[in-house]
Amino acid sequence: MNFLSKENGILSWLLTGDHKRIAMLYLFSITFFFFIGGALAGLIRLELLTPQADLMATDTYNKVFTMHGVIMIFFFLVPSVPATIGNFLIPMMVGAKDLALPKINLLSWYLYMAAGILALYTMATGGVDTGWTFTTPLSTHYVNNNVLTTGLAVFIAGFSSIFTGLNFIVTIHKMRCPGMTWFKLPLFVWSNYAASILMVLGTPVLAITIVLIALERTTHIGVFDPANGGDPILFQHLFWFYSHPAVYIMILPGMGVVSEVISTFSRKRVFGYTAVAFSSVAIAIFGFFVWAHHMFIMGISNYSVIVFSLLTMLVAVPSAIKIFNWTFTLYKGSITFETPMLYAFGFMGLFTIGGMTGIFLGTSGTDIHLTETYFIVAHFHFVMVGGMLMAFLSGVHFWWPKMTGRMYPEKISQLAAVVTFIGFNFTFFPQFILGTLGMPRRYASYPPEFQVLNVFSTAGASILGVGYLLPVLYLTWSLKYGEIAGNNPWQATGLEWQTQSPPLTENFPVTPIMDHDVYDYEWLESQKAKEVASV
């Protein structure tokens, strides 16, 4: 008897309050939207094979990259780890029976689905071509299409995100089991907690910004329109005030996954646990103060630029700390290279590159040359795809046995990880060079001397696509034919691994008591010894 077999029928899924079922619902919907966003990416890369805008009308191309951005950010990256892995695991990791507010959790999924359907409707009825950044006055006065429906979709998805974050914060504060002090929480919980703070405080500002755009579009009031005394730079400030913390919302949960995976597959507690925990919170806090580094060339005062550039340097330091802490977790460990570990290694390398190139952009002098070019595109794809998406895949593989009770096939999944890594580098590394050469973003056509690098990039994208398709295939296969996983196939220390796979609906038969340390491998050994002795 487990949470999957407990009740059957479609209503038992659609009206569930069980955080684990909601996590599975999210997993399916997120995967669906990922492949839609991915198909749009494929179209972009196909167009960019040739210097002319010859595959589709420039109008269509603009719509394709806009929808690619909107779907990937709001319907994949933001909810990816929190709504699937976080939903499933946070109650278990703190020793609770469910999240604090199960109905809000289900509402959060329904809001996500409503927003997603609205986004699909937008695509079906002609799309929107403002870029995901909705820059005014372009989005308010100069485009004739579905800005309002897209804005509404993002607005609703934002509330989905707020409710998830709210649920996490309340759960982590109020529902920890006896003995579970803050510093015995797994680092995955710390990372999601930090991300939840950002979700809860940042997303409402995006919501009101969308409301203002909607008002300006429908009534032609002049909040952002210079002809009416408004200021388009105000929009930039309001938009980036959310959208910068949003990138930390996207990456922090992934960093949490990496902490868990590296610890488990080196059989060691994470080096510098406290430093990593505080780094997560520091990234969240500092993340609120750097938004204008997206606006360095927009005519804000030189002094603002200095302040924001300095703060950007500060926010980069905790991420660097984490990379080194993970590296030293390997020191004197006992390391194996299962698929989650391979993805985690991929994360470390690619996130380091992505993060360092963030420094190139946060340094005001070099940002002048590199901003608004493919350097930016490469930077954020390195951190988001090379970083976050790899962490997501790492987490899905790591907790797959816990969620489904089945093991995934190891060899093919390791192959997929390597294929993804190779494809990724081929796709996005040439884009750094293109950016330095000056190739602008959001261009359907480009000077012919940029073609060679673009061809490399597209070739890489085709390999990358294979790397992403394989997991969908073999993970689905494993649901029926995968080896049965026990409670703890990885011999990991978290509370979730001390109970059956898949878990009971109420997670634990008896409320656990956290009488040992987090990442306490010695305790785990003693538990095993007890089991053996009792046989």
CA proximity to 403, closest of 84, 17, 13, 33: 84
CA distance 180 to 191: 17
331 binds another protein (CB under 8 A): yes
C-alpha triplet 205, 211, 216: angle, nearest 5°:
125
**Nearer Cβ to another protein (11/532):** 11
327 binds another protein (CB under 8 A): yes
Per-position x/- string for 5-44, each x denoting binding to another protein as judged by CB under 8 A, each - no binding: --x---xx--xxxxx-------------------------
**Nearer Cβ to another protein (98/496):** 98
**Nearer Cβ to another protein (304/476):** 304
Q: How far is the CB of 16 from another protein (least distance, A)?
A: 6
2 binds another protein (CB under 8 A): no
Subset of residues 39 to 98 that bind another protein, contact rule: CB under 8 A: 53, 58-59, 61-62, 91, 96-98
Q: For another protein, which stretch binds (CB under 8 A), given 120-128, 180-188, 369-377, 484-492?
A: 369-377
Q: How far is the CB of 400 from another protein (least distance, A)?
A: 21
**Nearer Cβ to another protein (75/134):** 134
304 binds another protein (CB under 8 A): no
Quick one: tokens of 133? 């950044």
356 binds another protein (CB under 8 A): yes
Q: How far is the CB of 480 from another protein (least distance, A)?
A: 26
Any long-range contacts for 118-125 (C-beta under 8 Å, 24+ apart)?
118/149, 118/152, 118/153, 118/156, 119/67, 119/70, 119/71, 119/74, 119/75, 119/150, 119/153, 120/36, 121/149, 122/67, 122/146, 122/149, 122/150, 122/153, 123/67, 125/149
b/e map 386-415, b = 16+ CB within 10 Å: bbbbbbbbbbbbbbbbbbbbbbbbeeebbb
Q: For another protein, which stretch binds (CB under 8 A), given 388-396, 416-424, 438-446, 489-497?
A: 438-446
In this structure, the number of other CB atoms found within 10 A of the CB of residue 289 comes to 17
Pick from 349, 414, 422, 470: which binds another protein (CB under 8 A)?
A: 349
- Residues whose CB falls within 8 Å of the CB of residue 228, separated by 6 or more in sequence, listed in order: 220, 221, 222
**Nearer Cβ to another protein (254/362):** 362
CA distance 44 to 337: 35
364 binds another protein (CB under 8 A): yes
Q: How far is the CB of 251 from another protein (least distance, A)?
A: 17
Subset of residues 176 to 205 that bind another protein, contact rule: CB under 8 A: 200-205
Subset of residues 391 to 420 that bind another protein, contact rule: CB under 8 A: none
Per-position x/- string for 113-152, each x denoting binding to another protein as judged by CB under 8 A, each - no binding: ----------------xxx-x-x-xx---xx---------
Subset of residues 491 to 520 that bind another protein, contact rule: CB under 8 A: 505-506, 511
- Residues whose CB falls within 8 Å of the CB of residue 390, separated by 6 or more in sequence, listed in order: 254, 343, 344, 346, 347, 350, 420, 421
Count, residues in the chain: 535
Per-position x/- string for 209-248, each x denoting binding to another protein as judged by CB under 8 A, each - no binding: x-xx--x--xxxxxx--xxxxxxxxx---x--x-------
